[in-house]
Structure 1
Amino acid sequence: MNDQLERLNRLPLRANLRGISPYGAPQLDVPILLNVNENTHGVPLNVREAITAAVTEAATGLNRYPDREFTTLRQDLADYLGHGLGAENIWAANGSNEVLQQILQAFGGPGRSVLGFPPTYSMYPLLASGTDTEYLRGVRADDYGLSAEDAARQVRELKPNIVFLCSPNNPTGTGLGLDVVEQVYAAGAESQTIVIVDEAYHEFAHDGTPSALTLLEGRERLIVSRTMSKAFALAGARVGYMAAAPEVTDALRLVRLPYHLSAITQATAIAALTHREALMADVEDIKVQRDRIVSELTRLGLKPAASDSNYVFFGGLADPGTVWQQLLDAGVLIRDVGIPGHLRVTAGTEPETTAFLAALAEILDHAPELRS
């Protein structure tokens, strides 16, 4: 046991927090960073200028608390999402993780449970631990898919208070059909289960892919979570949001910290939403690079999953740890998600994607035994 862990265990830490590790991906100084699904294109100049002007204006009032209800931001987010949503349907916080945490604070807690379907977003069990909510591990098919019938059956059997449905799923990048959401919601009627559809990467989905936003009407236990970290290239600003029935946003007001969204955060998000056309153009370019990665990995004899996100999950590796390390040695950082035979790579700019594909091809050419 290292000294830091020993000192931590001397504190009166809650029992359910002992022995777990905090969330964290490697933060290394390498030329090409393709490991945490950031928007690799950055913020366009005109959007940066608009954000700078908005933040400068907001700074004149920093001696006052911000709008506690972030009224303008909620209306702008509702306008962006469409589907007949109004400001009363919208909630936002410091990243979608905080939104999810607030949902668990309101509807989870001691004696309650949340169901996830691993492999999925690794923050879900950590959010459960942080709110003292029991985390139930559902089961996927061997190909990591999740059918409506199987998901609904598990909800009926386990009767969780909350369900996480990640679509597109992280780390596999595959989307869920709306039939999964519909049947899971119906299966949770008796247990009054809150159903969260985490659509953090929805803007990267293939054209015509429907959103669970279309299912919100008449379903007061359904929540659709989104983020501005990915498509809007605002990972550093920490803005996440959700859409749901107005009574859900009322529930989150009971647990949010006072004035939790700073005036600077609100100004940044509003400016970005005003200039979303430029940001969405970059999303289209990222989708091109993502599809290129899928095509090239297939050509290399690997097994990429179909992706509706800004990353590609791929298998066909006999020793993913060695491939990951050799890519790092070549200046390319991708993600080892701990799933045997698989790695995950974020779709970069055209030069970044080219560098990744070239480095991987060279590694496999020199050591074909690294393929499974």
Structure 2
Amino acid sequence: MTVSLDDLPIRDDLRGQKPYGAPQAPLPVALNVNENTHSIPAVVADDIASSVAKALHGVNRYPDREFTELREGFARYLGHGLDAAQIWAGNGSNEVLQHLLQAFAGPGRSVFGFAPTYSMYSLLTKGVGSEWIAGTRAADYSLTAEDAAAQVRAAHPDVVFLCAPNNPTGTPLSLDVVEAVYEATQGIVIVDEAYQEFAPKSSPSALTLLEGRPRLVVSRTMSKAFAFAGARVGYLAADPVLIDALRLVRLPYHLSALTQAAAVAALRHSDVMLGMVDEIVAQRDRMTAALTELGYRPYESWTNFLLFGGVTDPAATWKALYDRGVLIRDVGIPGHLRVTAGTEAETTAFLAALGELGRP
């Protein structure tokens, strides 16, 4: 007998939902999920391997539940006068965001974000039984402080997501928007800075706004700038009292000793790891110029990817690139596709394949 999902006593609000999923295919050039496609430098990889090997000798015991050394490392890396009491971490930033929603959202509560934005926000929201409310952006995907605050005031959400810079559009977010949204709600405001390291070095982080704002959270990830996507390490900074709330919902010993050892070692080499960022930004800017010359419309991006419009048939273009060994992302925005900025060789391969298709 064949059993379908509908035959199981699944929650009614999950019926008909689709899980998160980006195509995974063994193509030579994979530029679809905003990974850092650069390999970890050998000196860093050796230190990580040594640290993990040392940690292996103690895996018969539970890890440090408070991941103290790792929190201290993140506090040093972020700066801005932060200390370990203001830091939290999890298995990727998605788990960190899930902890926040478990603590501050849930059944009967609502979560707000400005669409289009990171698709996991709505999935995580529905996963905790909350209502997802999608706000709107300007035609160029930007937000103004006045409009953003007005939308939040009208929605009365319990949690607000601000993706800065935004995914999948790459759009910068000014700090006046964060301040205005914070004042417009009594709920939790989460500024997701997963791509902050790729923004101009002169651009201030929302970390500068944490003082005196106990409902403000700034989340980060090691997946992008640190080329640590496979290690699954995300983290956030917030008021120590908010950190206490997350302890109520996390699973016991949720960060393994091996994960902690690997992340601590990587942070010791943050200067080396961040050296890759400049190379990635250079390829992003190279793609911007080339896409414009080819007749497409790339949007301003402060991330490691580009959203570009002017695509007559996104599905056909995606498939044509796939057939040429290049995997990019159709994010569901009509007339648009998204591509990660990879290595120089990967960028060359993408642009060559796209050039073979002719003008859009």
**Alignment TM-score > 0.5, same fold:** yes
Q: What is aligned with 1:57?
A: 54
- Structure 2 matches for 1:1-372, cutoff 5 A? 7-188=4-185, 192-364=186-358, 368=359, 371=360
Q: Which amino acid aligns with 1:82?
A: G
Give the deviation of 1:142 after TM superposition.
Answer: 2.1
User: Shift of the alpha carbon at 1:207?
Assistant: 2.2
- Deviations 1:184-229 (Å, cap 9, x if unpaired)? 00111xxx21000000010011221111001000000000000001
Conservation of the 8 A alpha-carbon contact between 2:27 and 2:326: yes
Q: Does structure 1 retain, via aligned residues, the 8 Å contact 2:287–2:351? A: yes
Q: Distance in 2 between matches of 1:54 and 1:119?
A: 40
- Which residues of structure 1 form unaligned runs of 5+? none
- Give, in whole Å, the separation in 2 of the partners of 1:180 and 1:89: 23
Q: Deviations over 1:53-87 (max 9, x none)?
A: 00000000000000000000001100000000000
How many Å separate the matches in 2 of 1:319 and 1:145? 25
Q: Specify the code of the residue in structure 2 equivalent to 1:270.
A: V
| TM-score using structure 2 length | 0.99
**Partner amino acid, structure 2, of 1:47:** V
The 2-side partners of 1:41 and 1:142 are apart by: 33
Deviation at 1:172, TM superposition (A): 0.3
Q: Secondary structure at the match of 2:288?
A: helix
Deviation at 1:283, TM superposition (A): 1.0
Please say if residues 142 and 172 of structure 2, whose CA atoms lie closer than 8 Å, have aligned partners that are also in contact.
no
Once residues 307 and 125 of structure 1 are traced to their aligned partners in structure 2, the CA distance between those partners, rounded to angstroms, is: 23
The Cα of 1:143 is off from its aligned counterpart by 2.1
Kept in 1: contact 2:206–2:218 (CA 8 A): yes
Distance in structure 2 (CA, Å) of the matches to 1:297 and 1:206: 21
Instruction: Write out per-residue CA displacement over residues 64-118 of structure 1, whole angstroms, 9 at most, x where no aligned residue.
Output: 0000000000011000000000000000000000000000000000111000111
TM-score norm. by structure 1 comes to 0.95
**Structure 1, 303-312 or 143-152: larger mean CA deviation:** 143-152
Q: Cα distance, 1:148 vs. partner?
A: 1.1
CA distance in 2, matches of 1:291, 1:216: 31
Q: CA deviation at 1:278?
A: 1.2
Superposed CA offset, 1:250-272 (max 9, x none): 00000000000000000000000
SS in 1 for 2:302: coil
Mapped to 1, the partners of 2:266 and 2:112 lie a distance apart of: 34
1:140 is displaced (CA, Å) by 1.2
Once the two structures are TM-superposed, the CA of residue 314 in structure 1 deviates from its matched residue by 0.3
* 2:308 partner SS: strand
Gaps of 5+ in 2: none
Separation in 1 of the partners of 2:64 and 2:332? 42
Kindly state the Cα deviation for residue 301 of structure 1 after the two structures are TM-superposed.
1.3
Query: Separation in 2 of the partners of 1:357 and 1:208?
Result: 29
Instruction: Tell me the amino acid that sits aligned with residue 303 of structure 2.
Output: S
Distance in structure 2 (CA, Å) of the matches to 1:143 and 1:85 = 34
